[in-house]
Amino acid sequence: MVCKVTELTPFELLRDDAVGSPVPLPERLAALYGGLRLNQPGPSKRIISNFVSTIDGVVALNDDGTSGGGEISGFNRHDRALMGLLRSVSDAIVVGAGTLRAAPQHLWNAARAFPELKDDYRELRHRLGKADEPLNVIVTASGNLDPGYSVFNSDLVQTLVVTTRDGARELTRRGLPPRVMVDAAGGEHLSARHVVRAIRCRAHAPMILVEGGPLLMAPFLREALIDELFLTIAPWIAGRDEEARRPGLVSGARFDLETFATLLSVRAATDHLFLRYALHTKDAGAVV
C-alpha cells in the first residue's frame, strides 16, 4: 500500500511498546506512520531528541561541520517525514551553533523537514493547540554566528539564542537583528538545565525537541534531560580515521554505560530502521 499524496510506502511497524496518549494524527500522517503515542507533557515536561546515524554510529561526515543529517540519511524521505512529525509535536527545537553553521539557510520547522506534508503537519499543530511554528533555539558560547542566517531573519519562526555574556557581546557587534531574543546569562559552558530554563521562561514549551549536534548532546545526556531518543539507522558504514573523526551522537562526554535505554518502537522503511528509545540514567535529574 502507498500513502497517497506523498507516494511513500507506510513505515513497516515491527514493534511498538510506546505508552501515553494517542496523538491525533491527521489521516495521511496516521496512514504513513501508524499510531503515535506520547507521554503528554503535563507535570512531567518532555524533552525528546532525534538523530540519524550510519550503521557504525557516524552522524556527521566532516570534522568541520559541513555535512548535515541529510547526507547521513541519504536524503531519505521517510527520515525527513518523521523529522517533520517530531517537529510538529514540539514547542521548541534546540540546536547547537555547529548544526546551524552546517545548515545556514535552514529553519527548524516541520515544513522545512518535509514540505510534501506541510498541510498535515500544520493541521496536527492546530489539533494539539500549539503555536503555528516551534520556537527555534540556537546554543552558542562564542556568538560566532552570521546574522544573515535565515533563522535570524525569517518572519516564519521566532528565534532565541542562548549564549554567554561574551557571546552576546559578539552577536551585538555582528549586528544580530533585534527580532532575535538573546539569553546572555550563561557562564562559559552552558548547562542543559540553563538552556531549558532560558526557553521555558520565554515560551510555553512543554515539549522540547533537541536536534543536536553531538557537542550539545553532551550536557543534555550528562544532566539526564532527554526522555526519549528517536534514532534512524541509515544502511551505510562511514568509518573513521585520524583525518576524519566523524562523531557519533554525543561528543565531549563519556558515560561508562550508565545511560541506558528501553526500546519503545521499531519501524522500517526501505533499508532504514527507525528506533525509538526511552532513556534512563543512574542519576536521573529532576524535571526542569
Give the interface with ligand NAP as residue ranges (CB under 6 A).
Answer: 51-52, 59-60, 65, 67-69, 72, 95-99, 102, 139-142, 144, 189-190, 211-216, 219, 251
The nearest distance, CB 212 to ligand NAP, in angstroms, is 3
Task: Output DSSP code: residue 9.
Answer: P
The nearest distance, CB 175 to ligand NAP, in angstroms, is 16
Sheet holding 92-96, edge to edge: 12-16, 259-269, 272-281, 228-234, 46-54, 207-210, 92-96, 135-139, 159-164, 181-186
Residue 25 or 213 with smaller CB distance to ligand NAP: 213
Beta bridge partners of 267: 13, 274
Residue 59 or 269 with smaller CB distance to ligand NAP: 59
Residue 102 or 135 with smaller CB distance to ligand NAP: 102
The nearest distance, CB 26 to ligand NAP, in angstroms, is 25
Residues 59 and 72: beta-carbon distance below 8 Å: yes
The nearest distance, CB 43 to ligand NAP, in angstroms, is 26
Residue 67 or 88 with smaller CB distance to ligand NAP: 67
Cα 195 to Cα 92: distance, rounded to the nearest angstrom: 11
Residue 25 or 238 with smaller CB distance to ligand NAP: 238
The nearest distance, CB 239 to ligand NAP, in angstroms, is 16
